[in-house]
């Protein structure tokens, strides 16, 4: 396939001149235009089709709204979303909401005005009231309405697996280290699965959760441990909490996994920079990203859609249990 | 400020109906339209201005092209770029190039066709030939031409600081652990600064670099150490290489910093999940992201631009030296 550069070279002009000819924009001398057109014909050069379709149709722009792209789980998710979108001629807008509803609503307005074609949402906000039905929106770990597509990992099964695993490793004093469950999301099911597995077996456990958004993780971990220092097995609701707990335990002279066993949830890939490999429930982030991208494209293209994806998780044995 | 929801509530209709009225799209009964218009007037509601400006003008869409968003340095950079762009009514497209030139060129075409307003580029590709002059492009750590704006941290000063620091900690057998410098980028200056500081003092050092893109980091680290196992001080060209070296040294029974001292470069924030806090040369990624966003907006808006930003770095003392 010929490039704009090949055309420019053959016509003996700059790339900008070829661009002005193909776009019919800006001044080009008649003789130059003829040279460029001859080169285009000779090389069979076709100005980028995708660009044309984007000009005609902003529906090929999809926004991904997430709390922050600077998080290893979200940036991996965004990577896979973009790969699928790009392969299909779509483009990805990123929005860091920082949990600000106003910023999220701005993108819903863009969608209502057809400036963008769809939204993939990772949010804790109460945005239901702002959403009219049948909008091309896909939510992750959040079930906003029956009409809306949502994708999550199997949080419930993951919670059960964590409980089963800690028991199988001989733990007898179990704890759940949660986050800040201020809205109802699918993430709650991690605790529910953990709870149900243990309750079925009449095994007690302690639970620690914070009402508000956690500002100081280190202090939070310290509070947790001060209150529950006799635990020998902990299921932390995210990998980051798990890693922070492990580092805290090391700092007070506790050994992991000898004294305390820790299971996380997420399976974040951190380039192996942590010295203790975490035992964790791995979400299939690549598949979740691909499913999100495909779902939103299917709505935009008015194809058949599946409304619910609960993707299987897997326990990965590390060195923390 | 009133929201579309307020209008819908006052008019006694759904949000979608208000949207159809303000967009003049789709069927709305005449009586309903009047109710909505009355509510809009009463509340002083203004349909989002930014959305209008984006419809009129795609120059407010900026693309960030980087090898992968799933890298802690790049995702932090992207976060800060998006924050500044968004505050100014711009939107951010993300493209994972995976070092594929074709994908990068696609975005240059979008720029040539004014489908997007500007590009912030993190690339190792030889794309000079494809770029006409005066395009709204900002490059990071890469000096493509005198006309193009580029932003980097002070790599040279960082290399000098690393050498000085290792000497001050008593190291006498120094090494440089590089990456794959297949194109000329500003990153080379890390080695140059390290070299110049030591050469000025007539202190020898060994250097290890790979010609091709590194596929297997662990093997690469092992090769390095097998060849240079007598080193007691290493400057690794990135934090990830430094962390991998530290983990490798631990795995073969070497103590950091007692046996070997390691300095990295980047200052990536990994939520403190590593147990050994790295001594590293910290790039001001937030300021670099902000400068990139402001520069590209300045070109789009035809304001005065500064062509070169070399931002100061700082050595952060950790536990690895």
Domain ranges of chain A: 4-47, 58-152+285-310, 155-283
Distance CA A174, CA A163 (A): 8
pTM of the model: 0.82
**pLDDT for residue A82 is more than 70:** yes
**pLDDT for residue A56 is more than 60:** no
Question: pLDDT (tens digit, 9 = 90+) per residue, B90-136?
Answer: 999 999 998 888 889 889 888 888 889 999 999 888 777 777 767 89
Q: Give pLDDT, residue A226.
A: 95
User: Which residues in chain A are closer than 8 Å to B79, comparing Cβ atoms?
Assistant: 68-70, 96
The closest alpha carbon to A135, from A308, A296, A294, A293, belongs to A296
* pLDDT band, residue A49 (cuts 50/70/90): very low
Q: Give pLDDT, residue A145.
A: 75
Distance CA A278, CA A72 (A): 15
Mean pLDDT across chain A, nearest whole number? Answer: 87
Of A19, A76, A113, the CB nearest to B23: A113
User: Which residues in chain A are closer than 8 Å to B275, comparing Cβ atoms?
Assistant: 247, 250, 274-276
User: Do the Cβ atoms of A105 and B69 come within 8 Å?
Assistant: no
Q: What is the topology classification, in CATH, of domain A4-47?
A: 434 Repressor (Amino-terminal Domain) (1.10.260)
- Measured between CB atoms, does B50 come within 8 Å of chain A? yes
Closest-CA distance of chain A to residue B289, Å: 13
**pLDDT for residue A202 is more than 90:** yes
User: Which residues in chain A are closer than 8 Å to B16, comparing Cβ atoms?
Assistant: 112, 132-133
* pLDDT band, residue A42 (cuts 50/70/90): confident
**pLDDT for residue B305 is more than 90:** no
The larger pLDDT score, comparing residue B54 to residue B150, is at: B150
- Measured between CB atoms, does B48 come within 8 Å of chain A? yes
Domain A58-152+285-310 sits in CATH at: 3.40.50.2300
Q: Which residues in B109-254 belong to E strands, given as ranges?
A: 118-121, 137-140, 149-153, 174-177, 205-208, 233-236
Query: CA separation (Å) from A204 to A175, A180, A210, B180?
Result: 9, 22, 20, 54
User: Do the Cβ atoms of B113 and A72 come within 8 Å?
Assistant: no
The closest alpha carbon to A64, from A155, A171, A12, A137, belongs to A137
* pLDDT band, residue A272 (cuts 50/70/90): low
Closest-CA distance of chain B to residue A96, Å: 7
**pLDDT for residue B52 is more than 50:** no
Closest-CA distance of chain B to residue A51, Å: 6
Q: The complex's ipTM?
A: 0.80
Query: CA separation (Å) from A191 to A157, A171, B187, B247?
Result: 10, 18, 46, 33
Distance CA A162, CA A193 (A): 9
Mean pLDDT across chain B, nearest whole number? Answer: 87
User: Which residues in chain A are closer than 8 Å to B23, comparing Cβ atoms?
Assistant: 112-114
User: Do the Cβ atoms of A106 and B50 come within 8 Å?
Assistant: yes
Distance CA A271, CA A277 (A): 11
User: Which residues in chain B are closer than 8 Å to A47, comparing Cβ atoms?
Assistant: 109, 113
The larger pLDDT score, comparing residue B141 to residue A194, is at: A194
Q: Give pLDDT, residue A21.
A: 79
Question: pLDDT (tens digit, 9 = 90+) per residue, B153-182?
Answer: 999 999 999 999 999 999 999 999 998 666
Cβ under 8 Å to B: A residues 64-103: 68-72, 74-76, 78-79, 82-83, 86, 91-96, 103
Largest CA distance in chain A: 88
- Measured between CB atoms, does A275 come within 8 Å of chain B? yes
Of B61, B79, B130, the CB nearest to A70: B79
Percent of chain A with pLDDT over 90: 54
The dihedral of CA A55, A62, A286, A299: what is its sign?
negative
Domain B155-283: which CATH class? alpha beta
Name which of A3-7, A72-76, A144-148, A270-274 the model is least confident about: A270-274
**pLDDT for residue A270 is more than 80:** no
Domain B58-152+285-311 sits in CATH at: 3.40.50.2300
Cβ under 8 Å to B: A residues 122-151: 129-133
Average pLDDT for B233-256: 93
- Measured between CB atoms, does B51 come within 8 Å of chain A? yes
Distance CA B239, CA B153 (A): 15
Of A105, A240, A273, the CB nearest to B240: A273
Q: Give pLDDT, residue A80.
A: 96
Tokens for A321, please give them.
Answer: 């249990």
- Measured between CB atoms, does A15 come within 8 Å of chain B? yes
* pLDDT band, residue B50 (cuts 50/70/90): very low
Distance CA B73, CA B75 (A): 6
Q: Give pLDDT, residue B24.
A: 62
Residue labelled with tokens 């910093």: B257
Q: Give pLDDT, residue B53.
A: 47
Q: Give pLDDT, residue B49.
A: 47
User: Do the Cβ atoms of B275 and A3 come within 8 Å?
Assistant: no
Q: Which residues in B82-179 belong to E strands, given as ranges?
A: 91-96, 118-121, 137-140, 149-153, 174-177
- Measured between CB atoms, does A214 come within 8 Å of chain B? no
Average pLDDT for B25-43: 82
H helical segments located in A228-262: 239-251
Closest-CA distance of chain A to residue B93, Å: 4
- Measured between CB atoms, does B255 come within 8 Å of chain A? no
Q: If you write DSSP's letter for every residue of A277-312 in order, what string do you get?
A: PPEEEE--HHHHHHHHHHHHHHHHTT----SEEEE-
Of A54, A96, A247, the CB nearest to B83: A96
Whether B4-47 and B58-152+285-311 share one fold: the answer is: no
Q: Give pLDDT, residue A53.
A: 47
Average pLDDT for B67-79: 93
**pLDDT for residue A201 is more than 90:** yes
**pLDDT for residue B51 is more than 50:** no
**pLDDT for residue A4 is more than 80:** no
Q: Looking at chain A, how many residues does it have? A: 321
Q: Give pLDDT, residue A213.
A: 62
Q: What residue of A is the nearest CA neighbor of B53? A: A115
The larger pLDDT score, comparing residue A187 to residue A180, is at: A187
Neighbours of A248 (CB within 10 A): 18
Q: What residue of A is the nearest CA neighbor of B76? A: A70
* pLDDT band, residue B214 (cuts 50/70/90): low
Residue labelled with tokens 């993780």: A217
What spatial distance separates the first Cα and last Cα of chain A, rounded to whole Å?
A: 55
**pLDDT for residue B54 is more than 60:** no
Q: Give pLDDT, residue B23.
A: 63
User: Which residues in chain A are closer than 8 Å to B240, comparing Cβ atoms?
Assistant: 271, 273
User: Which residues in chain B are closer than 8 Å to A79, comparing Cβ atoms?
Assistant: 68-70, 96
Name which of B26-30, B39-43, B179-183, B230-234 the model is least confident about: B179-183
Which phi and psi angles does B271 have, rounded to 5°?
55, 30
Query: CA separation (Å) from A102 to A107, B9, B34, B276?
Result: 9, 18, 28, 39
Q: Looking at chain B, how many residues does it have? A: 321
Name which of B28-42, B60-74, B166-180, B208-222 the model is least confident about: B208-222
């Amino acid at each position: 396939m010929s490039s704009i550069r090949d055309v420019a070279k053959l016509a003996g002009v700059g790339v900008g001149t070829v661009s002005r000819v193909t776009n019919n924009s800006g001044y080009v001398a008649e003789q130059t235009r003829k040279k460029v057109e001859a080169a285009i014909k000779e090389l069979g050069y076709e100005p980028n089709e995708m660009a044309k379709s984007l000009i005609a149709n902003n529906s090929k722009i999809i926004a991904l709204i997430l709390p922050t792209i600077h998080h290893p789980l979200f940036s991996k998710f965004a990577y896979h979303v973009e790969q699928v979108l790009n392969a299909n001629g779509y483009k990805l807008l990123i929005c860091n909401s920082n949990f600000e509803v106003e910023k999220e609503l701005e993108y819903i307005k863009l969608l209502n005005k057809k400036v963008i074609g769809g939204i993939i949402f990772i949010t804790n906000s109460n945005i239901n009231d702002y959403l009219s039905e049948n909008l091309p929106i896909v939510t992750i770990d959040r079930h906003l309405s029956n009409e809306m597509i949502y994708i999550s990992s199997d949080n419930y099964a993951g919670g059960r697996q964590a409980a089963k695993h800690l028991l199988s490793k001989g733990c007898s004093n179990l704890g759940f280290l949660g986050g800040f469950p201020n809205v109802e999301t699918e993430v709650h099911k991690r605790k529910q699965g953990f709870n149900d597995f243990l309750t079925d077996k009449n095994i007690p456990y302690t639970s620690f959760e914070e009402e508000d958004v956690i500002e100081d993780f280190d202090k939070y971990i310290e509070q947790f441990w001060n209150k529950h220092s006799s635990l020998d097995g902990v299921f932390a609701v995210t990998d980051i909490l798990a890693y922070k707990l492990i580092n805290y335990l090391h700092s007070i002279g506790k050994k992991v996994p000898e004294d305390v066993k820790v299971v996380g949830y997420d399976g974040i890939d951190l380039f192996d920079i942590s010295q203790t490999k975490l035992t964790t429930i791995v979400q299939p982030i690549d598949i979740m990203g691909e499913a999100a991208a495909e779902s939103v494209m299917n709505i935009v293209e008015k194809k058949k859609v599946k409304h619910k994806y609960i993707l299987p998780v897997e326990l990965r044995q590390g060195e923390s249990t």
